[in-house]
A and B are shown apart, each in its own frame.
Chain A
Amino acid sequence: MSVLVALLAIGALALIFGLILGYAAVRFKVKSDPLVDQIDAILPQTQCGQCGYPGCRPYAQAIAEGDEINKCPPGGETTIRHLADLMGVEAKPLDSAHGEEDIKKVAYIREDECIGCTKCIQACPVDAIVGASKQMHTVIVDECTGCDLCVDPCPVDCIDMVPLRPTVSSWRWQLESIAVKNVE
């Protein structure tokens, strides 16, 4: 008798938990790998493809599947460190096969040389170039990620990558501090 009770009890419990688990599996279903999103959030979103993947998200996917974390030159050391923290691996120096960390640049179109071919517009991953066929094009500096992708398609080589000019708000303190010395 007691065996029966035990069996019933265990069975009932198993049923209840099974139902709870089953419900939870449906209710809290994770649609995509949250790790990919986390990695994607760390990557600099230049969409430059220097890592060998066609954008930041595919690289995030690859990292989640075990690829190296040091293939992102635009992100540089900071990104590698963040990725290392997230993935629980050792931070490595940037893989120079994919490029060197560079100062931040934006594209600049020499407008009087532009022939209005729209090739750069098609190449820009973030729609940061405005213009129309046979019309001059120009770069929206605030939206440009400096990915370099528009430079090659230009048939007249009128696109330069120029370093961003530092402003008062983006400037970093590099001063000797000022200290008072008591001199008597």
Chain B
Amino acid sequence: MQSLIEKIRQGSFSDFPGGVYPQQFKELSNQTPISRIPLPEKLYIPVKQHIGVEGQIKVAVGDRVNKGQPLTQSMNPFAVPVHASTSGEITAIREHVSAHPSGLPETTIELTPDGEEHWVELTPMLDYRQHPKSEVLEAICRAGISGLGGAGFPTHIKVTPKKDIEFLIINGVECEPYISADDRLMREHSWQIRQGIDILCHLLNPKYVLIAIEDNKPEAIHAMQVACQENSDYIICSVPTKYPAGGEKQLIQVLTNREVPHNGLPVDVGVVMQNVATCYAVADAIFTGKPLIHRVVTLTGKALRNPGNVWALLGTPIAHLLAQADVDKQQQQKLIMGGPMMGFELVSDQIPVVKITNCLLAPGVKEMPDMGPEQPCIRCSACADACPAELLPQQLFWHAQAKELEKAKDYNLFDCIECGACAYVCPSKIPLVHYYRVAKAEIRTQEEEKQKADKARERFEARKLRLEQEKAEREARHKRASEARKAAMQEDDGGSQARIAATLARAKAKQEDNGAPSDNSDKVAAAIARAKARKAQASSSGNEVQPDANAGQDDKAAKVAAAVARAKAKKQSTQKTTTPEQPDAPEQDDKAAKVAAAVARAKAKKQSAQKTTTPEQPDAPEQDDKAAKVAAAVARAKAKKQSAQKTTTPEQPESPEQDDKAARVAAAVARAKAKKASRAQQQAHEESEQEVQPIAADSEKKRKVAEAIARAKAKKAMKDKNSS
């Protein structure tokens, strides 16, 4: 181990495989100090500028914000906030073209600066060594710092490793052509970078700190050496210029000769790497309390008349920066964010500067001509020689082109760092990295779809299960209900039917009661009528007394029957007085028929009960309706009297409370008997017997029919009698 650190101190480094030596073009932009530029008219601050998740926006349109005020907030550990880059007013929160190769719109906070640069209250932490590490980490997180080298990984997560750290590597290599932002930063702000390194050391406790700078930046190396000379553990490493030496894994290999394992992280080999710009931002956050609201951006390319590095506020639209660099619109044919090897072309000049924007390249027409058409791969393997990750680019290309993504994955597609070295050396001008990016995106999409499919399957199966359960439950319920129904039916054996019939009978009785002017007298009359009917039967046909007695027991049924009889009697009395011949005419409407039937019955009753015909009585008051009523009252009164005179019906008091069915049966029997009584003289017993039974058993309709029949018979009987 000692030998390794000695080797590093001596400046003898390992090498990584492959690599290319593109022309640097750094002198275009690194000659002048980092300049400050005027405020743009509008700032577009995307809420997500790093790898991880975005926070919730906590400002609203119209809010006035101070410089450095956080605009988002989140409890998620992978979220870092974004801040107002200057003081001003929030004029919109909407979708804005994003700093992404697609240019797809993303949620962006639009800030109109007021030019006052009024800072929010800052809370520096000068004595950070006295604070617990967690507080320092929180301050770093609050300041919204994510890796400024290009990937944008939240810094506070990177500096809380689970393992012991041997080397903290500060990456000032900046190997990509054109870019000089870190170079200028190291030259001008080496002290603050060192302060940032101090803070990171406090957090990480590494054995050594290696500050790696490519040997094409002697001024930066010198500046950092001066800044770090007090601390012997800070070793400035001047690494050979080779692209992509600034890649994390490559730099680790160069400095320590250790390889980050496949699917592993640098921390697995005891290394944490931070960019110099990140160190600067950390120092800013701890010593001044200022959040990350600006960064150095290299404006370069031959289309710019005034290239150089500027402090750009996050959210500054590219157009504003290009205007500051005095862009030559004639020369400018495309616009690249990042370097020429790994950057991406921008779709709009309204794209804002974000935390990972280190360079804006506006190449001239001749500087970066179009590649021309892609040629077939000639299997020269120049790409394999150039690949710093020791992959086989031509195989990856082959499989990516054929969409054999599984095979591309087998060739470790995901170890590709997309450095572009292979495309750079390709004699057939094949945009290899492009293919890899497409293939990677496709694999990710497929994996996502797979996950979605798994979720869909889960949901589908859960639904199926649920539906089956519901069906089973429903069936069980139905079964239970039907069983309960059956059981109930067996139990009371038509009890419900009896109830229904009773209800009907009750209703009818009520109706008739309502129709009758005097309730009590009616009842009495009915009782009398019933009693008479019974008596008549008893007298006329002795053999039928037994059923009569049984049936007559029931009070209710008797009442019903009586009520019917009574009502009929009433009507009869009215009608008889007026139209005594009517009953003889069988062809009449229903009412008339009923009336006739009632008359017949009443007559039959009278006949059978009294034997002494009193034809004068009903006939006597030959009068109008009123008179008829009077007559009816008289008839009732007579009937009463009669009943009073006669022996009161012995069956009635006997009648105990019986069940509804019995009542119904009794009612039917009573009716039937009334009919029978009228038929007593006719001697049509067999027939009536047959008809009575169905009446008792059946519904009201049938009963009505039966009644009608009975009535008709009664009529006939009467006719017979009349004729006789």
Chain A residues packing against B (C-beta within 8 Å): 40, 43-47, 55-56, 78, 125-128, 143, 145, 166-168, 170-183
Q: Is A179 a contact of B340 with CB atoms below 8 Å?
A: yes
* Given A45-B456, A180-B341, A180-B424: 16 more A-B contacts, CB < 8 Å: A44-B453, A45-B452, A46-B456, A125-B463, A126-B459, A127-B459, A168-B98, A168-B104, A170-B445, A174-B438, A175-B101, A177-B431, A178-B420, A179-B368, A179-B420, A180-B23
Q: Which residue of A lies closest to B334 (CB)?
A: A178
User: A82 to nearest B CB, angstroms?
Assistant: 9
Among B366, B420, B438, B462, contact of A173 (Cβ-Cβ < 8 Å): B438
Q: List 7 A-B contacts (CB under 8 A).
A: A168-B106, A171-B101, A176-B345, A176-B371, A177-B432, A180-B177, A183-B366
Q: Is A44 a contact of B449 with CB atoms below 8 Å?
A: yes
Q: Is B446 a contact of A175 with CB atoms below 8 Å?
A: no
Q: Which residue of A lies closest to B444 (CB)?
A: A169
Q: Is B102 a contact of A166 with CB atoms below 8 Å?
A: yes
Q: Which residue of B lies closest to A140 (CB)?
A: B459
User: B271 to nearest A CB, angstroms?
Assistant: 29
Q: Which 9 A-B pairs have the closest CB atoms?
A: A177-B431, A173-B437, A45-B453, A45-B456, A171-B102, A126-B459, A177-B434, A172-B441, A180-B340
Q: Which residue of A lies closest to B445 (CB)?
A: A170
Q: In the complex, A46→B455 CA distance in Å?
A: 10
Q: Which residue of A lies closest to B455 (CB)?
A: A143
Known: A125-B460, A175-B345, A175-B434. A181 touches B449 (CB 8 A): no
Q: Is B22's beta carbon under 8 Å from chain A?
A: yes
Q: Is A172 a contact of B460 with CB atoms below 8 Å?
A: no
- In the complex, chain B residues 82-134 whose Cβ is within 8 Å of any chain A Cβ: 98, 100-102, 104, 106
User: B329 to nearest A CB, angstroms?
Assistant: 20
Q: Is B431 a contact of A45 with CB atoms below 8 Å?
A: no
User: A90 to nearest B CB, angstroms?
Assistant: 15
Q: In the complex, A27→B6 CA distance in Å?
A: 61
Q: In the complex, A177→B341 CA distance in Å?
A: 9
Known: A55-B460, A172-B445. A177 touches B455 (CB 8 A): no
User: A117 to nearest B CB, angstroms?
Assistant: 19
Q: In the complex, A115→B438 CA distance in Å?
A: 44
Q: Is B368 a contact of A181 with CB atoms below 8 Å?
A: yes
Q: In the complex, A179→B386 CA distance in Å?
A: 15
User: B432 to nearest A CB, angstroms?
Assistant: 8
User: A169 to nearest B CB, angstroms?
Assistant: 8
Q: In the complex, A166→B441 CA distance in Å?
A: 13
Q: In the complex, A55→B177 CA distance in Å?
A: 55
Q: Is B207's beta carbon under 8 Å from chain A?
A: no
Q: Is B344's beta carbon under 8 Å from chain A?
A: yes
Q: Is B101 a contact of A177 with CB atoms below 8 Å?
A: no
Q: In the complex, A171→B104 CA distance in Å?
A: 9
Among A125, A166, A181, A183, contact of B104 (Cβ-Cβ < 8 Å): A166
User: A31 to nearest B CB, angstroms?
Assistant: 16
User: A127 to nearest B CB, angstroms?
Assistant: 5
- In the complex, chain B residues 1-45 whose Cβ is within 8 Å of any chain A Cβ: 22-23
- Residues of A within 8 Å of B368, CB to CB, are 178-181
Q: In the complex, A173→B446 CA distance in Å?
A: 15
Known: A167-B104, A175-B345, A178-B340. A183 touches B456 (CB 8 A): no
Q: Which residue of A lies closest to B366 (CB)?
A: A183
Q: In the complex, A103→B101 CA distance in Å?
A: 22
Q: Which residue of A lies closest to B457 (CB)?
A: A45
User: A143 to nearest B CB, angstroms?
Assistant: 7
Q: In the complex, A55→B106 CA distance in Å?
A: 37
Q: Is B454 a contact of A45 with CB atoms below 8 Å?
A: yes
Among A40, A174, A179, A182, contact of B457 (Cβ-Cβ < 8 Å): A40
Q: Is B434 a contact of A176 with CB atoms below 8 Å?
A: yes
Q: Which residue of A lies closest to B430 (CB)?
A: A177
Q: In the complex, A78→B371 CA distance in Å?
A: 31
Chain B interface size range: 35 or more
User: A95 to nearest B CB, angstroms?
Assistant: 20
Q: Is A179 a contact of B344 with CB atoms below 8 Å?
A: no
Q: Which residue of A lies closest to B178 (CB)?
A: A180
Q: Is B475's beta carbon under 8 Å from chain A?
A: no
Q: Is B433's beta carbon under 8 Å from chain A?
A: yes
- In the complex, chain B residues 364-417 whose Cβ is within 8 Å of any chain A Cβ: 366-371, 403
Known: A166-B104, A179-B371, A183-B366. A173 touches B449 (CB 8 A): no
Q: Is B336's beta carbon under 8 Å from chain A?
A: yes
Q: Which residue of B lies closest to A85 (CB)?
A: B406
User: B459 to nearest A CB, angstroms?
Assistant: 4
Q: Is B442's beta carbon under 8 Å from chain A?
A: yes
Q: Which residue of A lies closest to B432 (CB)?
A: A177
- In the complex, chain B residues 320-357 whose Cβ is within 8 Å of any chain A Cβ: 336, 340-341, 343-345
- Residues of B within 8 Å of A178, CB to CB, are 336, 340-341, 343-345, 368, 420
Q: Which of A55, A143, A168, A180 lies at the interface centre, i.e. has the most chain B CB atoms within 10 A of its CB?
A: A180
Q: In the complex, A174→B439 CA distance in Å?
A: 11
Q: Is B434 a contact of A173 with CB atoms below 8 Å?
A: yes
- In the complex, chain B residues 593-617 whose Cβ is within 8 Å of any chain A Cβ: none
Q: Is B279's beta carbon under 8 Å from chain A?
A: no
Q: Is A179 a contact of B100 with CB atoms below 8 Å?
A: no
Among B431, B446, B456, contact of A47 (Cβ-Cβ < 8 Å): B456
- Residues of B within 8 Å of A166, CB to CB, are 102, 104
Q: Is A126 a contact of B460 with CB atoms below 8 Å?
A: yes
Among B177, B367, B423, contact of A177 (Cβ-Cβ < 8 Å): B423
- Residues of B within 8 Å of A175, CB to CB, are 101, 344-345, 434
- Residues of B within 8 Å of A180, CB to CB, are 22-23, 177, 340-341, 368, 424
Q: In the complex, A126→B23 CA distance in Å?
A: 57
- Residues of A within 8 Å of B106, CB to CB, are 168
Q: Which residue of A lies closest to B341 (CB)?
A: A180
Q: Which residue of B lies closest to A143 (CB)?
A: B459
Q: In the complex, A177→B449 CA distance in Å?
A: 27
Q: In the complex, A171→B367 CA distance in Å?
A: 29
- Residues of A within 8 Å of B102, CB to CB, are 166, 168, 171
- Residues of A within 8 Å of B433, CB to CB, are 177
User: A144 to nearest B CB, angstroms?
Assistant: 9
Q: In the complex, A170→B449 CA distance in Å?
A: 11
Q: Which of B98, B368, B448, B462 lies at the interface centre, i.e. has the most chain A CB atoms within 10 A of its CB?
A: B368
Binary interface profile of B, 471-490, with partner A (CB < 8 Å = 1, else 0)? 00000000000000000000
User: A179 to nearest B CB, angstroms?
Assistant: 6
Q: Which residue of B lies closest to A56 (CB)?
A: B457
User: A124 to nearest B CB, angstroms?
Assistant: 8
Q: Is A173 a contact of B101 with CB atoms below 8 Å?
A: yes
- Residues of B within 8 Å of A143, CB to CB, are 455-456, 459
Q: Is B420 a contact of A177 with CB atoms below 8 Å?
A: yes
Q: Which residue of B lies closest to A124 (CB)?
A: B463
Q: In the complex, A43→B177 CA distance in Å?
A: 46
- Residues of A within 8 Å of B367, CB to CB, are 181, 183
Q: In the complex, A178→B371 CA distance in Å?
A: 8
Q: In the complex, A183→B101 CA distance in Å?
A: 26
Binary interface profile of B, 504-544, with partner A (CB < 8 Å = 1, else 0)? 00000000000000000000000000000000000000000
User: A148 to nearest B CB, angstroms?
Assistant: 14
- Residues of A within 8 Å of B441, CB to CB, are 171-173
- Residues of B within 8 Å of A173, CB to CB, are 101, 434, 437-438, 441
Q: Is A168 a contact of B460 with CB atoms below 8 Å?
A: no
Q: In the complex, A172→B100 CA distance in Å?
A: 11
Q: In the complex, A182→B446 CA distance in Å?
A: 39
Q: Which of B420, B429, B453 lies at the interface centre, i.e. has the most chain A CB atoms within 10 A of its CB?
A: B453
- Residues of B within 8 Å of A170, CB to CB, are 445, 448
Q: Is A126 a contact of B344 with CB atoms below 8 Å?
A: no
Q: Which of A55, A166, A176 lies at the interface centre, i.e. has the most chain B CB atoms within 10 A of its CB?
A: A176
Q: Which residue of A lies closest to B367 (CB)?
A: A183
Q: In the complex, A170→B343 CA distance in Å?
A: 19
Q: In the complex, A125→B345 CA distance in Å?
A: 43
Q: In the complex, A127→B463 CA distance in Å?
A: 7
User: A163 to nearest B CB, angstroms?
Assistant: 14
- Residues of A within 8 Å of B104, CB to CB, are 166-168, 171
Q: Which residue of A lies closest to B425 (CB)?
A: A179
Among A45, A168, A176, A182, contact of B23 (Cβ-Cβ < 8 Å): A182
